[in-house]
Amino acid sequence: MKTTIIFITTVLFVTQVSFNSKEPANKAALGEMLFSDPILSRDRTISCASCHKPAFAFADTSAVSLGVRNKRGIRNTPTAMNISSQRVFFWDGRAKSLEEQALAPIVNPDEMDLSIAEAVQRLNADAGYRQYFRNIFNAPPNSTNLAIAIAAFERTLETSNSPFDNWKFSDDPKAVSDAAKRGFQLFNGKGKCVKCHFGPDLTTNEFRNIGLFNGKELNDSGRAAISGDKIETGKFKTPGLRNVAITAPYMHNGMFKTLREVIDFYNEPDKFVTKAKDRDTILAQPLGLSEEEKNDLLAFLRSLTDKRFN
- 167 lies in the same domain as 284: yes
Report the residue count for the chain: 310
209, with CB counted inside 10 A (0-12, 13-18, 19+), is buried
* Residues 101-143: tens digit of each pLDDT: 999 999 999 999 999 999 999 999 999 999 999 999 999 999 9
Give the Cα separation of 7 and 9 in Å (integer): 53
In a domain, 7, yes or no: no
Q: How confident is the model at residue 1 (pLDDT cuts 50, 70, 90)?
A: low
Is the predicted pLDDT of residue 271 greater than 90, yes or no? Answer: yes
- Per residue in 231-265, pLDDT (tens digit) is 999 999 999 999 999 999 999 999 999 999 999 99
Same domain, 167 and 266: yes
The residue out of 97, 124, 154 marking a domain boundary is 154
Residue among 26, 21, 39 at smallest CA distance from 125: 39
- Contact (CB, 8 A) for 84 and 155: yes
Which CATH number does the domain housing residue 73 bear? 1.10.760.10
176/297 same-domain check: yes
Domain range for residue 91? 27-154
184 plus 275 within the same structural domain: yes
Residues 75 and 53 in one domain: yes
Binding residues: 48, 51-52, 193, 196-197
Residue 60 lies in a domain: yes
- Phi and psi torsions of 55, nearest 5°: -70, -15
- Report pLDDT digits (tens) over 195-222: 999 999 999 999 999 999 999 999 999 9
Q: What is the predicted pLDDT for the residue at 255?
A: 98
> 3-class secondary structure for the chain?
CCCCCCCCCCCCCCCCCCCCCCCCCCHHHHHHHHHCCHHHCCCCCCCHHHHCEHHHCCECCCCCCECHHHCECCCCCCCCCCCCCCCCECCCCCECCHHHHHHHHHHCCCCCCCCHHHHHHHHHHCHHHHHHHHHHHCCCCCHHHHHHHHHHHHCCCCCCCCHHHHHHHCCCCCCCCHHHHHHHHHHHCCCCHHHCCCCCCCCCCCEECCCCCCCCCCCCCECHHHHCCHHHCCEEECCCCCCHHHCCCECCCCCECCHHHHHHHHHCHHHCCCCCCCCCHHHCCCCCCCHHHHHHHHHHHHCCCCHHHC
Q: List, for residues 135-174, the tens digit of each pLDDT value.
A: 999 999 999 999 999 999 999 999 999 999 999 999 999 9
Q: How many CB atoms lie within 10 A of CB 15?
A: 16
pLDDT in tens, 215-231: 999 999 999 999 999 99
Question: Does the pLDDT at position 288 exceed 60?
Answer: yes
- 3 confidence band (pLDDT: 50, 70, 90): low
Q: Give the Cβ contact number of residue 160 at 10 Å.
A: 15
Q: What is the pLDDT of residues 70-95, one digit of tens each?
A: 999 999 999 999 999 999 999 999 99
Q: CA-to-CA distance for 267 and 271, rounded, in angstroms?
A: 9
How far apart are alpha carbons 224 and 256 in whole angstroms? 23
**Do 141 and 173 have their domain in common?**
no
Residue 280 pLDDT > 90: yes
Q: Which residues of 226-252 are buried (b: 16+ CB within 10 A; e: fewer)?
A: bbeeeebbbbbbbbbbbbbbbbbbbbb
Q: How many independent structural domains does the chain possess?
A: 2
- As to burial, measured by CB atoms within 10 angstroms (0-12 exposed, 13-18 middle, 19+ buried), residue 155 is middle
The model's confidence at residue 50, banded by pLDDT at 50, 70 and 90, is very high
Predicted confidence at residue 19, as pLDDT, reads 44
Same domain flag for 78 and 170: no
- The CA-based angle 33-37-42, given to 5 degrees, is 145
How far does the chain reach from its first CA to its final CA, in angstroms?
20
Identify whether residues 93 and 228 lie together within a single domain. Answer: no
Domain check: are 172 and 147 in the same one? Answer: no
Provide the pLDDT confidence category of residue 21 given band limits of 50, 70 and 90.
low
pTM of the predicted structure, to 2 decimals: 0.92
The answer to whether position 9 is within a domain reads no
Check pLDDT > 60 for residue 7.
Answer: no
Q: Does residue 277 sit in the same domain as residue 170?
A: yes
Respond yes or no on whether the N-terminal peptide bond of residue 249 is cis (omega within 30° of 0).
yes
Annotated binding site for heme c: 48, 51-52, 193, 196-197
Instruction: Give domain status of residue 76, yes or no.
Output: yes
